[in-house]
Amino acid sequence: MNKTLLCHFYNEEYLLPFFVKHHLEIFDRGVFINYNSTDNSVDIIREYCPDEKQWLIIDTKEPEFDAERLDREVESFERRIPGWKMCLNVTEFLIGDIDTLCDQHSEQFFVKSIPMIDIEENIGKDISINKPIYEQRSHGIINVDVNKPDQIYINRSPRSMHQINVTYPTGRHYWNQETVDKAAILWYGYSPFNETLLKRKTQISNKVSKRDKKLNLGFQHHFNNSELGQKHKNYLPYIEDLTHEINRLL
């Protein structure tokens, strides 16, 4: 079966090698939408994906980050692609028995997201490209209590894998959907929690559209280093080692 990865990116040279190497094992082809990157992101994709016919890099037509217009742009590419497709951020790593799940579903299924968060002893430390990211960072929050205010944002929403045309909800976030048990997305939003990740998380703030700012969309892009550090500190009591769950799905 034909499975296509879609991903939009802006200056993602830190995690892109991990992201691309991992998903080459899952997807048959890919569409990378470049939001005017100024670092080595494009070169990294080409290094790992030399087949330019199967792994496309396309420059966005959007001058700024606007959640609704970004979603519409992704949809426009998806409509030209047959078979199964999923759109992921560079911080999201899909694991699980994807081929079996595609065989079992006719049109669409939803995959839960697991927030990955560094334990204190890993704060500030780097990771090696010689190992998969989940072998180096395996802690996160899998059982979220939405009644605890500190955990509200970390309750990452599921993503869709589909072979039909969809109209995405804002940010491609699907809430209150039943998810499959044989797959998950490891979201490295707070791991590796170091200076490089902080720079990545704060670089978008001046590129968010006025419309999104007015609607308070993409609010997570406007946290400064101190605020991100405090949020990470708030999550620490709820972190657990997820190695068993990750290994179950690999």
What's residue 79's pLDDT? 96
Q: Facing residues of 160 across strands?
A: 110
What's residue 69's pLDDT? 85
> Per-residue pLDDT tens for 167-221?
999 889 898 899 999 999 999 999 999 999 988 888 766 666 566 555 555 545 5
What's residue 5's pLDDT? 98
Task: Examine the pLDDT at 136 and tell me if it is beyond 90.
Answer: yes
Tokens of 228: 């991100």
What's residue 23's pLDDT? 98
Q: What is the DSSP string of 114-142?
A: EEEE--GGGTT----TTS-HHHH--EE--
For domain 3-249, the question of CATH label 3.40.600 is answered with no
> Per-residue pLDDT tens for 29-41?
999 999 999 999 9
Q: Which residue has the higher pLDDT, 22 or 1?
A: 22
pLDDT above 70: percentage of residues in the chain: 88
| Structure confidence at residue 45 as a pLDDT band (50, 70, 90) | very high
| Structure confidence at residue 225 as a pLDDT band (50, 70, 90) | confident
Task: Examine the pLDDT at 17 and tell me if it is beyond 90.
Answer: yes
Assign residue 102 a region (left: φ > 0; alpha: ψ between -120 and 50; beta: otherwise).
alpha
